[in-house]
């Protein structure tokens, strides 16, 4: 790299990378200042997908906002749903039944698989490995069918509710999930054979876009990017929410913090997610999936139609300005989404609508470290580093 700088002519060239570029996965834009092939300076520009989620949160009921969280990190909507309702529930001071906690973990881990699979497909596609894209989408389609049967939608699931989930798992979920989990390691092995020891893949990713552990912490990196730098931090272990403390899993850690390590960490995380899904299925308790509090969860349909109390409860929950009303105060709650720490800071004024809903997006802080990883490297590394960060524009810009 240093040699490249010396050889260069000293003339600067500015390259506009994005916002519409196949490797920017949507709407990222980086302005690169180049000297020959080396990157002198990288300036990311963002906001091309700014949608006003946080403003919208001030105008929607707590339950209505779940729909918005789907569209934030659209690779794994179920993790967002989970993180958001957990924050509201902690603000309310309620705890959901055990069965619900397990169902949420099941769905969150399956969507972590879906997220990492899509990351794998696109990151490999960016570096020219087209088959991996097709392989990972083959697996993702199987997950889509499980999600669709459970939630009614392939992508925008809106599955969780404050105080529970929209409905229980369908009959046959266990068979479907176990089928998938038993076949998945085989499918992942195919990818390992294609990439892990592949000379081209290693050359393109090893030592590319490195970041040290201290710098990663200083930049606020979280998730696989932080763990690849050697910090064994996972909120599922550090602050076990829901029923994560009843399950065993390992936290994979890298050592160099480069694109190759981020790849390996994510690959191993997928195996750990499989472990978690299997355990959750083994220990899935029976019982209700919603808290039994008519001020928080919807009454059963037959109650709403058949009894006056049921009808009133139903009416109170769906009416504007009623619904779930957390006490006055604020609360910050973070969960480990596939990309890192996904936090929700909710300020409540005691009404049915959030006073302020702040989303702490992992992609935003991960993307911020990009110039640090790129500068001094070669221009062709841009795509490899960007791919390895898995920046989701919907979450980045909100």
Partner 1 sequence: MNEEKGIAEQASPLVLEKLAAHHSEALLAQRETRGRVGVVVRKEQAYAVLEYLKTDPELAYTYLVDVTAVDNSQMESELMQFDYARFMVVYQLYSYQGQCRVQVKVPVHENDLSVPSVTGLWRGANWLERETYDMFGINFEGHPELRRILMPDDFEGYPLRKDYPLRGRGERESFNFEKQNV
Partner 2 sequence: MGLAKTHIQSGQGAAQTDGNIITTTIDKVVNWGRKNSLWPMPFGTACCAIEMMATLASKFDLSRFGSEAIRFSPRQSDLLIVSGRISIKMMPVLKRIYDQMPDPKWVISMGACASCGGVFDTYTLIQGVDQFIPVDVYIPGCPPRPEDLIDAVMQVQQKIASGAAPKGIEVAYE
Contact set with partner 1 (CB under 8 A): 46-47, 50, 52, 54-56, 58-59, 86, 89-91, 93, 95, 215, 217-220, 231, 233, 237-242, 245, 328-332, 334, 341, 343, 345, 347, 349, 355-356, 358, 360, 364-365, 368, 372, 397-398
Strand partners, 33: 14, 41
The 8-class DSSP code of residue 246 comes to G
Which of 134, 232, 238, 319: binder of partner 2 (CB under 8 A)? 134
Which CB atom, from 66 or from 216, has the smaller least distance to partner 2?
66
- The answer for residues whose C-beta is within 8 angstroms of residue 124's C-beta and 6 or more apart is 130, 132, 133, 136, 194, 195, 201
Rounded to whole angstroms, how far apart are CA atoms 123 and 208?
14
Q: How far is the CB of 356 from partner 1 (least distance, A)?
A: 5
Which CB atom, from 115 or from 258, has the smaller least distance to partner 2?
115
202 phi-psi bin (left φ>0, alpha ψ -120 to 50, beta other)? alpha
In our burial notation (b when 16+ CB lie closer than 10 A, e otherwise), range 76-92 reads: bbbbbbbbbbbbbbbbb
User: Is 27 one of the binding residues for partner 2 (CB under 8 A)?
Assistant: yes
Q: Which does 264 bind (CB under 5 to 8 A by kind): partner 1, partner 2, none?
A: none
Which of 99, 140, 313, 314: binder of partner 2 (CB under 8 A)? 140
User: Is 56 one of the binding residues for partner 2 (CB under 8 A)?
Assistant: yes
CA distances from 175 to 261, 289, 377 (A): 34, 20, 48
The 8-class DSSP code of residue 304 comes to H
Spatial contact of 125 and 135, defined as CB atoms under 8 Å apart: no
Spatial contact of 162 and 62, defined as CB atoms under 8 Å apart: yes
User: Is 51 one of the binding residues for partner 2 (CB under 8 A)?
Assistant: yes
Q: How far is the CB of 44 from partner 1 (least distance, A)?
A: 9
Which CB atom, from 133 or from 345, has the smaller least distance to partner 1?
345
User: Is 30 one of the binding residues for partner 2 (CB under 8 A)?
Assistant: no
Spatial contact of 286 and 104, defined as CB atoms under 8 Å apart: no
**Residue appearing with tokens 């524009």:** 393
Cα 147 to the chain's mean position, in Å?
A: 16
Which of 12, 13, 15, 52: binder of partner 2 (CB under 8 A)? 52
- Report the relative pairing of strands 329-337 and 164-165 from DSSP bridges: unpaired
Q: Which does 316 bind (CB under 5 to 8 A by kind): partner 1, partner 2, none?
A: none
**Residue appearing with tokens 């180049």:** 34
Candidates 25, 104, 101, 112; CA nearest to 76 is 112
Q: Which does 140 bind (CB under 5 to 8 A by kind): partner 2, partner 1, none?
A: partner 2
User: Is 281 one of the binding residues for partner 2 (CB under 8 A)?
Assistant: no
Which of 8, 33, 137, 202: binder of partner 2 (CB under 8 A)? 137
String of DSSP letters for 337-386: ETTEEEEEEEEE-SSSB-SEEEEE-HHHHHHHTHHHHHTTSBTTHHHHHH
Which of 12, 22, 214, 309: binder of partner 2 (CB under 8 A)? 22
User: Is 155 one of the binding residues for partner 2 (CB under 8 A)?
Assistant: yes
Q: How far is the CB of 79 from partner 1 (least distance, A)?
A: 16
Q: How far is the CB of 148 from partner 1 (least distance, A)?
A: 29
CA distances from 167 to 152, 171, 232, 278, 297 (A): 10, 12, 35, 21, 11
Which CB atom, from 127 or from 247, has the smaller least distance to partner 2?
127
Which of 31, 40, 133, 288: binder of partner 2 (CB under 8 A)? 133
Spatial contact of 83 and 333, defined as CB atoms under 8 Å apart: yes
Rounded to whole angstroms, how far apart are CA atoms 243 and 239?
11
Q: Which does 301 bind (CB under 5 to 8 A by kind): partner 2, partner 1, none?
A: none
Which CB atom, from 149 or from 237, has the smaller least distance to partner 1?
237
Which CB atom, from 16 or from 218, has the smaller least distance to partner 2?
16
Spatial contact of 227 and 254, defined as CB atoms under 8 Å apart: yes
Which CB atom, from 67 or from 202, has the smaller least distance to partner 2?
67
Binding site for partner 2 (CB under 8 A): 19-22, 25-27, 47-52, 55-56, 67-68, 70-71, 74-75, 118, 121-122, 133-135, 137-138, 140-141, 144, 154-156, 393-394, 397
């Amino acid at each position: 790299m240093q040699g490249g700088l010396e050889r260069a002519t000293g003339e600067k060239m500015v390259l506009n990378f994005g916002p519409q570029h196949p490797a920017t996965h949507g709407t990222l834009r980086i302005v690169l200042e180049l000297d020959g092939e080396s990157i002198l300076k990288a300036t990311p520009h963002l906001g091309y997908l700014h949608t006003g989620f946080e403003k919208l949160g001030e105008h929607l009921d707590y339950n209505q906002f779940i729909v918005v969280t789907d569209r934030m990190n659209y690779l794994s909507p179920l993790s967002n749903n989970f993180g958001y309702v957990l924050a509201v529930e902690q603000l309310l001071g309620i705890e959901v039944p055990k069965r619900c906690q397990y169902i949420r973990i099941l769905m969150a881990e399956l969507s972590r698989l879906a997220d990492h699979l899509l990351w794998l497909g696109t990151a490999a596609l960016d570096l020219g490995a087209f088959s991996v894209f097709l392989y990972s989408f083959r697996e993702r389609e199987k997950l889509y069918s499980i999600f669709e049967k459970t939630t009614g939608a392939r992508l925008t699931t809106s599955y969780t509710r404050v105080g529970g989930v929209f409905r229980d798992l369908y009959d046959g979920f266990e068979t479907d999930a176990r089928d998938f989990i038993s076949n998945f390691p085989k499918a992942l092995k195919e990818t390992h054979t294609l990439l892990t020891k592949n000379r081209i893949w290693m050359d393109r990713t090893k030592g590319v876009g490195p970041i040290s552990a201290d710098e990663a912490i200083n930049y606020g990196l979280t998730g696989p990017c932080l763990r690849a730098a050697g910090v064994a931090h996972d909120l599922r272990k550090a602050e076990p929410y829901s029923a994560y403390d009843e399950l065993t899993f390992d936290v994979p850690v890298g050592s160099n913090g480069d694109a190759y390590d981020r790849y390996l960490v994510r690959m191993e995380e997928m195996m750990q997610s499989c472990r978690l899904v299997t355990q959750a299925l083994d220990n899935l308790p029976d019982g209700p999936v919603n808290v039994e509090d008519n001020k928080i969860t919807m009454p059963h349909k037959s109650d709403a139609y058949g009894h006056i109390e049921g009808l009133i409860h139903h009416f109170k929950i769906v009416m504007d300005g009623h619904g779930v009303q957390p006490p006055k105060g604020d609360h910050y709650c973070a969960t480990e989404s596939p990309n890192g720490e996904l936090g929700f800071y909710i300020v409540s004024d005691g009404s049915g609508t959030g006073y302020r809903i702040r989303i702490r997006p992992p992609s935003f802080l991960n993307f911020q470290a990009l110039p640090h990883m790129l500068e001094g490297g070669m221009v062709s590394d841009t795509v490899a580093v960007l791919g390895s960060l898995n920046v989701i524009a919907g979450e980045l810009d909100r």
